[in-house]
Amino acid sequence: MKNLLLALALLVSAPAFAATECSSDAADTEKLIRAADSCHAAATIARDCSWGSGVDVYLTGAAAETCEKDYAKMNATDKRTMNAMRSRCANKYRHEQGSMYRSFEAHCQLNVSEFWSDIYLPIDG
């Protein structure tokens, strides 16, 4: 009975969200990412359609390019900080082998791009 109540509570409290329609073709997914209207939308598609392999380097790269538009006029100090953050992503998995770790690194770097997009976008309101 406790499990049933717990499951019911989770269902009721779970946020509603729209699932991303992912293609089995990485090129189609990349087109979807590039057509996104914001950094967060592009990053969400890249995450939702993640393959857990080296393909993610390609998909997250497309999403990061969308994010980079938000901080195109980044100052030199912030650029150094961003590059240091990206280097940490690369260093975290540098001794690991396999495409899964390249995927982890790529998603980490996408998180960095998303962070800087948030910093440089104006606050609505």
Q: How confident is the model at residue 105 (pLDDT cuts 50, 70, 90)?
A: very high
- Total-model pTM: 0.80
Dump pLDDT digits (tens) for 13-69: 334 445 678 988 999 999 999 999 999 999 999 999 999 998 999 999 999 999 999
Kindly state the DSSP code that residue 52 receives in the 8-state scheme.
Answer: S
How far apart are alpha carbons 68 and 49 in whole angstroms? 20
How far apart are alpha carbons 10 and 13 in whole angstroms? 5
Encode 67-93: b = buried (16+ Cβ within 10 Å), e = exposed: beebbeebeeeeeeebeebbeebeeeb
Question: C-alpha angle 117/54/43, rounded to 5°?
Answer: 25
